Structure formats: C-alpha cells, structure tokens
Amino acid sequence: MTDRSIHPRHLRWQAAAWMTLALAALPAAAKPPILNNTVQEQEVLAAQQAWGEALVAISKTYETQGREAAKTLAGKVIDGAYGYQMGPVLFKPTLTTAPQTFRTTREGALAYFVGGDKAYPNDTGFALKGWQKVEVTNVGMVIAANTATTMGNVTFTDREGKRTTVDKTWQFLKDDSGKLRIVVHHSSLPYAAP
C-alpha cells in the first residue's frame, strides 16, 4: 500500500495496527490494512475528558474575554463534539424545563451553554458559571457498532470550589473521519427524596 502514508485515515490505521500488533504478535509483514469504524474504549474516555476541558475553556474565555468570545468558542465546541450536522441530537441538559427541556437542534444547545438567546428565555448559560474542573466517573459502558454509550457521574467544580455532581448518559457515534460525536446526552440532578 504505497499510498498508506499519504492519507490521514491510513495513518490512523497504522497506529491502530501497531497497538493490535502488540496484542496479536503478528509479523509486521503479515499486517493487512484495516478499515475499522468500531469504537474503542480509549476513544470514549478521551472524548469525555475533551468535553470537560471544553466546558472549562468556555468558562475561562467568558471570564477573560466576555460573552461573545465565549459564545464563539461554544459554537466551535458544539460543532466539534456533537453530531448536530449528522441529524437530531437527543440532548436533555441538566437545568432545562418544559416546554424547552429537550435540545435536539444546535441552536437549543448553544442557548443552553451560553444563554442570551431570546428564543430560550430561561437559559442563563451553563458554561459561563466559572467551572474550573470537570471529573467523569463511569459506572459502565455499552459499545455497539460505531457507537458507544456511557453512564455515570460528572462533577463540576466552580471558582469557590463548590462541587456539583450530576447523573449523566452520553452516546457517541463515530463519524467518517473517525471522530466520536455526541448524539445522545441526558443529564440530571440526583433525585432528592422528599
């Protein structure tokens, strides 16, 4: 495959090839090229971490450069991490209420993260709340086909060191470029017994 070095995707297999090579202990000569659109656990863990880092980055951008800069970054984060360009995203944010509980469009997601959208009057901008740290703890994972779903807790720490923990489910779908995109995101505050 003399062209393997000229396509990014080929480099990606190459990397995958060497990892599995270590496990399969095959002679390099016997190593065939692989087209693999399945999801690996490590990709999921990396996508979760990237989501948390992006949220912190939006908070810091808001503090240092203001709402417009934060909104611009939030738009880039949504376009890079979610799958709105692939179809509807099943997004139930932590703090939304009926009749705007579900945000299946990019506009609804952007309004939730940075607020300031007259169409979503109750959104105050979740990503603007001074988040300093995001920690993800998974209780399990379901990997099926080119998709993976995680469930667990996500804990957000703000400037005062106050920690907020939510119950969160994410489903990621791998796109043609090999990138995982969030297509389902259900977040909720823990149930408080009366």
Q: Which of residues 99-128 bind its own copies (CB under 8 A)?
A: 101-102, 104-107, 122
Q: Please, which contacts does 125-128 make with residues 24 or more away whose CB atoms are closer than 8 Å?
A: 125/62, 125/67, 125/70, 126/93, 126/94, 126/95, 127/55, 127/58, 127/59, 127/62, 127/70, 127/74, 128/58, 128/59, 128/62, 128/67, 128/70
Q: How far is the CB of 128 from its own copies (least distance, A)?
A: 17
Q: Is 31 helix (H, G, I), strand (E, B) or coil?
A: coil
> Which of residues 27, 28, 42, 118 is near its own copies by CB under 8 A?
42
Residue ranges in 126-155 that form contacts with its own copies under rule CB under 8 A: 137-147, 149-153
> Which of residues 92, 116, 117, 164 is near its own copies by CB under 8 A?
92
Options 50-58, 68-76, 154-162, 163-171: segment touching its own copies (CB under 8 A): 163-171
Residue ranges in 52-71 that form contacts with its own copies under rule CB under 8 A: none
> Which of residues 32, 64, 118, 160 is near its own copies by CB under 8 A?
32
Q: Is 145 helix (H, G, I), strand (E, B) or coil?
A: coil
